[in-house]
Every structure is written in structure tokens, then in C-alpha cells.
Structure 1
Amino acid sequence: MVERVGSVDGLRDVLRRLSVLKGVAPEFDPQTVPDDPVELFAEWLHAAVDAKVVEPHAMTLSTVGGDGRPSARVLILKDVDSAGWHFAVNAGSRKGRELAGNPVAALTFYWPELVRQIRISGPVVADPTEVAAADFLARPSGSRQMALTRRQSQPFNDYSELDEALDRAGRELEIAPDQVPTEWMSYAVRPDEIEFWQGDPARRHKRVQYRLVNGVWSRNLLWP
């Protein structure tokens, strides 16, 4: 029998002993933020890159199913422009099905090294097919090979199934290296609400909320 390391006993005490908000927060004056939240997002993202935050473009994508049940997973941000915050998914995956049935989403970025968090939410629209194709073809071969198994999120019984499917997909890629599966989609969140949060150990967090009203961004401070 394999010995299990750790136990659920005493987890509350373990969790209570863990430190929080130990990063180094940059200077931030909420009174001087730009009118456009995209500018502030770019500023914070560049700061995260300069601070060598691990995978600063990783974000939690939250969607909602037809039964009202939320689900979340971590994806990689692909672009930000006037059309929104872009990411790519397999249409047959759970997130793809949920976006098709309920095209709204929330994105969350968290950079503990800078004690910063960004929350973005709003409707989701599909990008043109050429955007999805460009995203797919720019991916590493292993990523494309896995996508070509066309079985993301489906249950399976044995890893031999996965190996066989990957072998078939690999041969498919060798024959047609520029193919793009029809299931591959690129989406953009067009936010109507964005919050920038900078934490403080004394809980005097700095929070700025942007809201889109009649096509114009308004902003206000939020109580910590």
C-alpha cells in the first residue's frame, strides 16, 4: 500500500498558519488612474512582467452552465485590444459548451508577488475564424496534437486510449500540418465591469472599479 503523505486532520490549523499578502506592492494612487481601464491593465501587466511574476498572462476563466452552476479553470490570455480580452477554447469542452449556451464570463488575474488582482466580467463574443486559426497554428505541436484528438473533457478508461489518440493525431498533423479543427474557437470578453485590487497586510486594500455605462467608462473607489 502506498503511504499517503499528510492528512485532513488539522488542516484548519495549517491553513491559519500560512502567511498572506507577503508580496511587494508597487506605488499606486487610485486617484490618478486613466479614464480607460485597458491602459491601466496594460500598465499593471507590464509591471508584472518586469517583476518576473510567473506566468502573468495566466487567468481564471469562470463560466456558467445552463443549470446555473459556475465552473472555473485557468487559461492563458492571448491578446487585449479594442475588441476585448481574448482567449481560445475547444468548442466541445465544458467551457466551450457553456459559452455557447450562456455567452458571459469572468476573468481573474492574481499576482501575489505584487499583491495585485484584476477582475473582469462581461459578455463574450466569438472572434473571426481567421483569429482562431492563427491562434491554433501558433501553438506548439504538442498542443495542436492534443486538440486534434477532439476529446477534451471527455471521460476515458485507460491512458492507452490517450496514447493511441495522440498517435493518430500526430499522423494527422504530419499529413496536414496547417489544418485547424473546426472546434477551435477564439473568444473575446467585452467587459462592462473591471476591478483593480491592490492588497495591504493591514487590509487597507486599494480598489478601483470601472463600469461601462452607455458606452462610457465610469469609475469609483470600493471599500476594502
Structure 2
Amino acid sequence: MTSAATTFRERLRALPTFPPGLPPFGVDLDDLATAPATPQDLFARWFDDALAANLGAPHAATLSTADADGRVHARTLVIKDVTAEGWWFAGQSSSPKGRDLAANPHAALTVFWRDLGRQVRVTGTVRSAGPDAGAADFRARPEGSRAAGLVGHQSEPLASRADYRTAFADRLSEVRADPAAFAPAWTAWVLKPASVEFWQASDDKGQARLRYRAAAASDAPASLDTVPTIDTPSWTKELLWP
């Protein structure tokens, strides 16, 4: 039992950050020429390690956005794909993240695999993949998730849970009656990376950080509504002080 005299700070400090037996980085950091050519390739390796370790929700990530006034917002979502274009996620264009991205396409995606002592940070600019990609992503969602998406009103004040239960039941019936139904505001986005950083803790060798930087990353996408094209940048690999 926690002592009444124990402060919250002391309780936090007593918690272990990582478990013992952390894996190595998986790349020869003394010879970066041997590292995967792209951050997507290394991310795929680390993701396979997370799957092999049976980590819960290894595809979960924190998306950080900012509005036109610089106010930062973050939420946890799931990564939908990782391709040459970048890291994919989805949601309502009318949601807070959708409004942020419409005003300011710069964003960051953070993946944290605690049991492996690993973190990946992806920063860059976000673009919509277009309405067809949004509709396809929506229809690929589980039945209950599609119903929730059709309810809409994300982040708006809710008068009562009864109101939500009624709306959800109605939309669930709609989904079951018409599996092709989709929310018009549902959007598939891709985060085109300008920088991808891989961070690894260890039991007894400190920490290690490897960053991939796009040699010709653009800071100003033409439009959030521009469908991205495959663009394979030239990557610079560099170590960072932990």
C-alpha cells in the first residue's frame, strides 16, 4: 500500500522506465552505410520486432498538430500504412486534427514501444490522399468503427450518453443495411517525412539516436488537398547525441 507520506513525485520516480533485457539497435551505428537506405525500411524492421515481441497495439502512434495560432494538440491513433510517400493515418476532416491540418500541414507522429526501449519520431508535412482513398479506408474499417464514424460530431459537447447510444444504434443499423455507406468527411492523410528519428535505450550502454533527413524535403506543400505522388527523397543518415 502506498504510504500517505509518499508524494506523487516520489511515486513517479520509483517507477521503472524500461524492463531489463532490451534489444540492441539492430544497425551498426559505427558504419551508417550499412543502415537501411530509407527510414521506412528501418521502421519496418522495428515494427516486425514489435510484432515478434507480442507488444499491444504496435501500430498505435501519437499525432501532434498545431492550429493557425500555434496551439498544439495531440491524440493517439493507428498507423494505416507506411509507403514510399510516408506514414498514413485517417479521420474526419471536420475533426480537430482535420481543422489543424487544414490550417497548418506541419505535423509529427510518435511511436513508442516501451518494452523494447524504442521510440520513432516522424516529422514533416501532411496531405490528403483524395476522396477515393478516404472512402476506401472508411469501408475497410470494422462495422462498429464505421458506425462511430457516421455518427460524426467528433469533439463537440454531448448532452447525454443516451443521445450517443441512440445515434450509434441508428448508424449501426445503417451500416448493416448498406455496407458501402461512408462518411463524406472521412479522409486518408499521408505524412511525408522531412525527418525520421530512431531512439533506442539500453540496459548498460546509454542511449542511441539515428536520424534520417530528407535531402530535399519541402516545407511548403502545394495544398492539403493535393493527392501525393510517390517521391523518394535522398536520405542523409546521422547520429545524434542522446
Q: Same fold (TM over 0.5)?
A: yes
Match of 1:34 in 2: 36
Q: SS at the partner of 1:21? A: coil
Structure 2 counterparts to residues 14-163 of structure 1, below 5 A: 14-28=11-25, 29-30=28-29, 31=31, 32-163=34-165
Q: Deviation at 1:27?
A: 2.6
* One-letter amino acid of the counterpart of residue 24, structure 1: G
Extract unaligned runs of 5+ from structure 1: none
Q: Deviation at 1:195?
A: 0.3
CA distance in structure 2 between the aligned counterparts of 1:168 and 1:202, rounded to whole angstroms: 56
Q: Deviation at 1:38?
A: 1.1
Match of 1:219 in 2: 237
CA distance in structure 1 between the aligned counterparts of 2:4 and 2:124, rounded to whole angstroms: 40
The runs of 4+ residues in structure 1 deviating greater than 3 Å are 5-9
Q: Is the 8 A contact 1:23 1:114 kept in 2?
A: no
CA shift digits 1:52-74 (9 cap, x unpaired): 11111000011001221111111
CA distance in structure 1 between the aligned counterparts of 2:102 and 2:185, rounded to whole angstroms: 12
Q: Which moved more, 1:114-123 or 1:193-202?
A: 193-202
Query: In 2 relative to 1, CA 70–53 (structure 1 residues): closer, same or farther, beyond 3 Å?
Result: same
Task: Report the RMSD for the aligned CA atoms in angstroms.
Answer: 2.0
Q: Is the 8 A contact 1:24 1:113 kept in 2?
A: no
Q: Deviation at 1:128?
A: 2.7
The percentage of counterpart residues that share the same residue type is: 39
Q: Deviation at 1:129?
A: 2.0
Q: Is the 8 A contact 1:76 1:87 kept in 2?
A: yes
Aligned residues: 220
Tell me if 1:11 matches 2:8: yes
Match of 2:223 in 1: none
Q: Deviation at 1:97?
A: 0.9
What TM-score results when the alignment is normalised by the length of structure 2?
0.85
Q: Which moved more, 1:158-167 or 1:6-15?
A: 6-15
Extract unaligned runs of 5+ from structure 2: 217-232
Q: Is the 8 A contact 2:21 2:203 kept in 1?
A: no
Q: Deviation at 1:98?
A: 0.6
Query: In 2 relative to 1, CA 8–176 (structure 1 residues): closer, same or farther, beyond 3 Å?
Result: farther
Structure 2 counterparts to residues 156-175 of structure 1, below 5 A: 156-175=158-177
* One-letter amino acid of the counterpart of residue 211, structure 1: R
* One-letter amino acid of the counterpart of residue 222, structure 1: L
Q: Deviation at 1:113?
A: 1.0
Match of 2:222 in 1: none
Query: In 2 relative to 1, CA 223–86 (structure 1 residues): closer, same or farther, beyond 3 Å?
Result: same
CA distance in structure 2 between the aligned counterparts of 1:8 and 1:111, rounded to whole angstroms: 33
What TM-score results when the alignment is normalised by the length of structure 1?
0.92
